[in-house]
Amino acid sequence: MAEDKGPLEASEFIKDRLYFATLRVKPKSSLSTHYFCTDDELVYENFYADFGPLNLAMMYTYCCKLNKKLKSFSLSKKRIVHYTGYDQHKRSNAAVLIGAYSIIYLKKTPEEAYRALLSGSGVAWFVPFRDASVGSSTYGLTVLHCLQGIHFDVHEYEHYERVENGDFNWIVPGKLLAFSGPHPKSKIENGYPLHSPEAYFPYFRKHNVTTVVRLNKKIYDGKRFTDGGFEHYDLFFEDGSTPSDLITRRFLHVCETAAGAVAVHCKAGLGRTGTLIGCYLMKHYRFTAAEAIAWIRICRPGSIIGPQQNFLEEQQASLWSQGDIHRSRLKQHPQLAERGMSRLVSGVRGLSLSPALRQSRSVDRADQHDYGYDSPFLTQGDKLRSLKGSRQTRSSPIGSFRMEDVKMHTRSQSFNSQKGRVGGEQGSTAAPRGLRTLPTSASLRIISPPSGSNLRSPLSNRAAVLR
């Protein structure tokens, strides 16, 4: 790049190929370098003082654009530089774009991507994103937070989806987990691995699962979960059927007031489990029924079956309305969101769900001590579990689902609130003192990320509570 003039520090993402830079003036592409900018192409539509991050469609567009450039024959021998200007808002958005690309396509971790951005950006700072309001910012959402939110551990997903490793999937990361129903004892029965409640304890504890909801008849003693320190609720309805309004409301109450994440199971963890989780998605995220079904099936194939699909369609309008009312009440009385399970009276037949009672709560129509399958015959859940178990190659014994095999969940952590202002000048778009003036565009002086860097997420030592 000898034809370029002046020094410039740039972040290197692919050696001698892909870089990110902040420039004073618009550069001209040369024989060895191709410059491009998305600051005026991918633009955030703000509500008030908010300025990003850019939405999923823009991120997709950016990835397609960059992939096309990297595969272009005419650019095959050129360094490709994504540059941004001095506007601190656009600079943060641009950083998220190339950071996301490096996570999705270059297999970097969020911390590696963020380290690359800092090492060559000329400054160790990106202005944090803020909420869509006009007041002072009280919560700083950093570029690193955004990159952590994008990161997805495919190996973890594939590991725990397998029957022999627990057969569970996160539907709402950090909030709702769907899993196959536990059995009284861990064993292999007719070639199918079965897991006891205790087999799930290590993973649940590491990932802040505080509550377990059972939707099928009793096969194991719920006291085993409560003795392990978990809340346990029984909300039984027939295999393959749809929940009553009472069951639906009680399930939503449990999820809304749980101290941490909620693990939900029926027999196979597909039909009844997916149906009630779909109700939560519609109420709290305004998913349409079709969107909820699609997302849950993408996360956990086979979920929501037969009349359960039509049930969700019928419930959509009502759940949207309930969600609007719920959010309105939280705005008027924000303290309700922080009460957790200190005291909950559902208002439905006076049901009390006080956590002070460390016992399994039951609204199961079956006898309290009736442990057994839903039916003496094979049910829908039995058949689904059997099919899933038979189609997966069981390369490891039942003992594989143990404490030493519990992988740490690597998704980003989030919090309900932050008191005070994070990182100082969050609401300001001006650079902090000491921000070095960046030179005009010219030749690249590449700064590679330090190999021995000990960069850690600012959230690494704090517990996640995702609601």
Q: Which residues contact 148 (CB under 8 A, 6 or more apart)?
A: 110, 411, 412, 413, 457, 459
Report if residue 347 sits inside a domain.
yes
Residue-level pLDDT at 377:
61
Rounded to an integer, the average pLDDT of 94-117 is 95
Distance CA 92, CA 144 (A): 10
Q: Which is more confident, 403 or 59? A: 59
Residue 181 is part of a domain; what is its CATH number? 3.90.190.10
* Closest by CA position to 399, among listed 171, 195, 131: 195
Residue-level pLDDT at 370:
42
- DSSP track, 411-460: S----S---S-TTS--S--SPPTTPPPPPPS-S-EEEPPPTT-----TTT
Quote the number of domains for the chain: 2
For the chain, percent of residues with pLDDT exceeding 70: 69
Same domain, 305 and 190: yes
- Using alpha carbons, list the distances in angstroms from residue 277 to 28, 181, 405, 436: 53, 15, 27, 50
Same domain, 137 and 163: no
Asked if residue 13 lies in contact with residue 19, where contact means CB atoms within 8 angstroms, the answer is: yes
Residue-level pLDDT at 160:
85
Domain with 375, as residue range(s), is: 154-405
Same domain, 244 and 115: no
Asked if residue 270 lies in contact with residue 303, where contact means CB atoms within 8 angstroms, the answer is: yes
Partners of 232 in beta bridges: 212
**Strands 361-362 and 445-447, bridge-based pairing:** unpaired
Same domain, 189 and 290: yes
Residue 127 has pLDDT above 90, yes or no: yes
Same domain, 185 and 212: yes
* Helix 110-120 / helix 143-150 crossing angle, nearest 10 deg: 150
Q: Exactly one of 37, 266, 279, 299 is catalytic; which is it?
A: 266
Rounded to an integer, the average pLDDT of 362-374 is 42
* Closest by CA position to 30, among listed 63, 64, 77, 67: 77
Amino acid at 277: I
In eight-state DSSP terms, residue 180 is P
Report if residue 378 sits inside a domain.
yes
Same domain, 72 and 158: no
Report if residue 246 sits inside a domain.
yes
- DSSP track, 84-149: E-S-HHHHHHHHHHHHHHHHHTS---HHHHHHHHHHHSSSS--PPB--SSSS-----B-HHHHHHH
Partners of 35 in beta bridges: 81
**Encoding tokens for residue 49?**
């003082």
Same domain, 137 and 213: no
Same domain, 208 and 349: yes
Q: Which is more confident, 59 or 349? A: 59
- Using alpha carbons, list the distances in angstroms from residue 123 to 9, 16, 119, 348, 435: 10, 22, 8, 57, 6
Report if residue 317 sits inside a domain.
yes
Segment holding 287, helix H or strand E: none
Report if residue 334 sits inside a domain.
yes
Q: What angle do CA 267, 273, 277 make, to 5 degrees?
A: 170
Segment holding 154, helix H or strand E: helix 154-161
Asked if residue 149 lies in contact with residue 104, where contact means CB atoms within 8 angstroms, the answer is: no
* Closest by CA position to 82, among listed 121, 41, 29, 38: 38
Rounded to an integer, the average pLDDT of 65-73 is 98
Report if residue 2 sits inside a domain.
no
Residue 380 has pLDDT above 90, yes or no: no
Residue 454 has pLDDT above 60, yes or no: no
Residue-level pLDDT at 230:
98
Same domain, 231 and 336: yes
Count how many residues are written for the chain.
467
Active site residue 266: yes
Rounded to an integer, the average pLDDT of 233-253 is 96
Residue 94 has pLDDT above 80, yes or no: yes
Residue-level pLDDT at 361:
53
- Highest-confidence range of 104-108, 419-423, 439-443, 451-455, by mean pLDDT? 104-108
The pLDDT tens digits of the residues spanning 270-293 come to 999 999 999 999 999 999 999 999
Rounded to an integer, the average pLDDT of 208-213 is 98
Residue-level pLDDT at 337:
57
pLDDT band at residue 301, thresholds of 50, 70 and 90?
confident
Same domain, 390 and 265: yes
pLDDT-wise least confident of 44-58, 96-110, 147-161, 242-256: 147-161
Same domain, 367 and 443: no
Report if residue 419 sits inside a domain.
no
Distance CA 207, CA 409 (A): 7
Residue 420 has pLDDT above 50, yes or no: no
Same domain, 70 and 117: yes
Amino acid at 134: V
Report if residue 243 sits inside a domain.
yes
